[in-house]
Amino acid sequence: MIGALLALGALVLATSVPLAQAQALPGSDWAPSTGAVGDNTFEGFIDQPAAGASIGQGATFMVSGWVVDTSAQGWSGVDGVQVLLGTTLLAQATVGLSRPDVASALGNPYFAASGFQAAVSGGVPAGPQTLTVLAHTPGRGAWTKQVSVNVSGGTGVVNSATGLVLKIISPTSSDLIVSNNNGTIYGVAYDTRTRPELGIGVDRVTACLDGPCGTAGSQTLGDATFSGDNWSIPWEPTKYNKVTHHILYVDAHSLVTGEVLQVTEEINLTP
């Protein structure tokens, strides 16, 4: 989803909405950091991860979005972006990525090269965490914006060599699922190679019991709904409580390459 600015009288970066629906105005919630000088003329948004997103501990995940110094002439004004956890550097982002939507919303063709993207590989402890995106400029120093995420230990993390990532957060093999208590299967899925127009890079996650989806004996639980890179599928253990031990199969389909990645998890039901 493309972050943008809503004109509400006061000039505040408010929420994530399509840029084409908004008017871009000066003023933002980017904060001054090392060597920062001058007025706050920064606009931008962290598209991924979404605020409050769940991230599997040890999984590679993407941090992406856009940022401009609106006082810059002839370019975005940003020559580097870093992703930090506290003072620890997690990743250096690629900057200058194509964002024609930003140029259109801000009314400046030079801001079409304002995107950034970084792949963070591990290094984030389990629990609530706050990531900092630091944008550096030659003349105004460094400015930052933050996003809070939840890092889950869990099991079932898969980061394929091609960059497609899928994690089952719940249920896990250590959970005892009460068979008469309906619940939700949920996790995280994304493709680290995605482009802005492809969102998280995954368009479908499907869960099945006791066999890969589409095979004989497999029982389909359904397709997931998404909130950012978080996916969830409601399920009813009451339908399966005659058997207490199951294997959960979850597939994720990449929009980037069309490949399908699968993870499995043992689950146990208890009366």
- Tens of pLDDT along 145-167? 999 987 765 555 666 567 888 88
Q: Is the omega angle on the peptide bond into residue 212 within 30 degrees of 0, that is, cis?
A: no
Q: How do residues 99-120 score in pLDDT, each as one tens digit? A: 999 999 999 999 999 999 888 8
Residues 38 and 83 in one domain: yes
Residues 106 and 182 in one domain: no
Based on the fold, state whether residues 43 and 54 are members of the same structural domain: yes
CATH classification of the domain holding 107: 2.60.40.10
> Can you read off the two tokens belonging to residue 99?
């964002």
Q: What is the pLDDT of residues 115-133, one digit of tens each?
A: 998 888 767 887 789 999 9
Same domain (yes/no): 57, 187: no
Q: Are residues 163 and 146 in the same domain?
A: no
Given 151, 177, 208, the domain boundary residue is 151
Q: Judge if 91 and 182 occupy the same domain.
A: no
Is the domain of 136 the same as that of 254?
Answer: no
Q: Do residue 147 and residue 206 come from a single domain?
A: no
Domain count for the chain: 2
Domain edge (last residue) among 129, 151, 173: 151
Same-domain pairing of 94 and 129? yes
Q: How far is CA 235 from CA 73, 119, 182, 239, in A?
A: 54, 32, 6, 9
Q: Which helix (H) or strand (E) holds 105?
A: helix 100-106
Domain enclosing residue 138, as ranges: 4-151
Cis amide prior to 171 (ω within 30 degrees): yes
Q: Give per-residue pLDDT as tens, 30-62.
A: 999 989 999 999 999 998 888 887 776 666 778
Task: Based on the fold, state whether residues 119 and 162 are members of the same structural domain.
Answer: no
- Considering only CA atoms, give the Rg of the chain: 21
One domain for residues 181 and 82? no
- The SS3 of residue 236 is coil
